[in-house]
């Protein structure tokens, strides 16, 4: 039986589980995911932390050392960098080196907690088939098993339980910051009302090991119930050396809400984009060219990925309007159009507003209509 995603560090030692059910919406949860935290630590040690001392990063218009911005991550890196060449970790990452974190996370939220994670028959093949580059089911199962087994061993070898014990105060603070930072407005119900669709649970998974600024929207369906997640690293500066003045980087209320609407939004939006005729996608692919570099710099290397992001971000603008944040909506529009170069958002917004006024009966039809408008761009 699948364990609860929230975890208690040691049975009998700690009485309070690191999970909260909020009055904001009965389907909304805040949790720490043990598997995500191990994956984030492994990723930081193996990739993000490499040469971090010599790199700089632009934060709010100012350059600063990357290690100072990722200060908690750098703290982890310094503590565990000797395990970067750990055989179990290398075995795990070797079979997953072509997969991005969102795909791995979608699997990890379904399996048992490390060090007991395993691939079971209950997990649909879509969550592990990509472990085979040729989508060979037998190879995919074998590689997914190697991936999970490697991290099971890595968990034990680095004594991850001790890390969790030592870090409990930081995670408690992170959960509290997220809880206090959520808007009073029920944005979940607003999203469900706008998209005319709902899911069974909505889970916020703040992470102290996933690098700052990263966010992933994932979901899975089990027993007829669909669960969606916003998995995200810290959003702001952190202070953790003085335990009496802890700040774990989750106090930016505006960013927290926008990120939640964004990552949850993918579960509403992506299936409708995927229903577009394939010919329409291929025939409009040339429209990526004017913004290809800007999209690639943000990690969106295909036209389809860019379309997902266009529609999700346009939805964010609408949701901000509908919960009464007019200034936030206007700022998002300007930011996405001018700084992030999502040039087709204005065309999408026109159709979304028609949909909101009842001119289109379904969101699927709205996406199709918006694509027809986008097609007119030559």
- State how far the Cα of 194 lies from the Cα of 71, in Å rounded to an integer: 39
What percentage of residues in the chain have a pLDDT greater than 90?
Answer: 87
pLDDT, one tens digit per residue, over 265-274 is: 999 999 999 9
Asked whether residue 23 carries a pLDDT value surpassing 60, the answer given is: no
Mean pLDDT across 252-258: 91
83-107 pLDDT tens trace = 999 999 999 999 999 999 999 999 9
Tell me the per-residue pLDDT of 307-327, one tens digit each, with 9 for 90 and over.
999 999 999 999 999 999 999
The DSSP bridge pattern shows strands 201-206 and 225-232 to be: parallel
Judge whether residue 125 has pLDDT over 70.
Answer: yes
What is residue 61's predicted lDDT score, i.e. its pLDDT?
83
Kindly state the tokens that stand for 134. Answer: 């040729």
Helix (H) or strand (E) holding 303: helix 303-322
Q: Phi first, then psi: what are they for 167, rounded to 5°?
A: -105, 5
Share of the chain above pLDDT 70, in %: 94
Strands (DSSP E) found in 207-285: 215-222, 225-232
> What was the pLDDT predicted at 377?
81
Give the whole-angstrom CA distance, residue 12 versus residue 162: 15
Residue 12's pLDDT is 29
Give the residue-averaged pLDDT of 105-119.
98
What mean pLDDT is predicted for residues 219-240? Answer: 94
Q: State yes or no: pLDDT of 110 exceeds 60.
A: yes
Q: Over the range 78-113, which residues count as b (16 or more CB within 10 Å of their CB) and which as e? A: eebbebbebebbebbbebbeebebbbbbbbbbbbbb
Residue 243's pLDDT is: 87
Mean pLDDT of 42-49: 96
What pLDDT does 281 receive? 96
Which two three-digit tokens encode residue 43? Answer: 């990723």
Report the DSSP pairing between strands 201-206 and 28-31.
parallel
Q: Which two tokens stand for residue 322?
A: 């509908």
Q: Residue 208 pLDDT > 80, yes or no? A: yes
| Residue 299 neighbours by CB distance under 10 Å | 10
Task: Return all residues near 141 (Cβ < 8 A) that are at least 6 apart.
Answer: 119, 128, 131
Residue 18 has pLDDT above 60, yes or no: no
Are 22 and 187 within 8 A, CB to CB? no
Q: How much is the pLDDT for 378?
A: 63
Contact present, 272 and 367 (Cβ < 8 Å):
yes
pLDDT at residue 15 above 60? no
């Amino acid at each position: 039986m699948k364990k609860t995603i929230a975890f208690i560090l040691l049975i009998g030692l700690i009485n309070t589980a690191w999970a909260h059910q909020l009055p904001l919406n009965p389907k909304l949860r805040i949790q720490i995911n043990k598997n995500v935290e191990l994956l984030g630590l492994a990723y930081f040690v193996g990739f993000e932390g490499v040469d971090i001392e010599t790199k700089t990063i632009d934060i709010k218009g100012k350059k600063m050392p990357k290690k100072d911005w990722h200060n908690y991550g750098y703290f982890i890196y310094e503590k565990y960098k000797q395990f970067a060449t750990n055989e179990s970790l290398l075995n795990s990452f070797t079979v997953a080196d072509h997969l991005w974190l969102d795909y791995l996370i979608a699997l990890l939220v379904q399996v048992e907690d490390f060090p007991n994670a395993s691939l079971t028959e209950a997990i649909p093949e879509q969550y592990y088939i990509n472990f085979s580059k040729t989508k060979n089911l037998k190879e995919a199962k074998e590689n997914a098993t190697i991936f999970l087994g490697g991290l099971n061993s890595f968990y034990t070898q680095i004594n991850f339980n001790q890390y969790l014990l030592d870090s409990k105060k930081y995670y408690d603070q992170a959960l509290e910051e997220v809880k206090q930072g959520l808007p009073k407005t029920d944005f979940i119900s607003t999203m469900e009302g706008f998209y005319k669709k709902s899911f069974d649970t909505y889970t916020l998974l703040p992470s102290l090991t996933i690098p700052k600024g990263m966010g992933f929207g994932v979901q899975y369906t089990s027993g007829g119930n669909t669960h969606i997640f916003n998995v995200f690293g810290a959003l702001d500066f952190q202070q953790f050396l003085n335990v009496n003045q802890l700040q774990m980087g989750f106090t930016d209320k505006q960013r927290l809400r926008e990120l939640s609407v964004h990552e949850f939004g993918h579960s509403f939006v992506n299936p409708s984009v995927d229903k577009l005729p394939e010919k329409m996608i291929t025939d409009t692919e040339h429209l990526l060219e004017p913004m290809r570099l800007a999209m690639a710099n943000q990690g969106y290397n295909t036209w389809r990925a860019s379309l997902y992001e266009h529609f999700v971000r346009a939805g964010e603008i609408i949701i901000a309007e509908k919960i009464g944040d007019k200034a936030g909506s206007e700022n998002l529009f300007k930011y996405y159009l001018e700084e992030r170069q999502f040039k087709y958002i204005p065309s999408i917004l026109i159709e979304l507003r028609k949909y909101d006024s009842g001119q289109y009966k379904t969101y699927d039809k709205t996406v199709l209509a918006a694509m027809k408008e986008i097609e007119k761009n030559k």
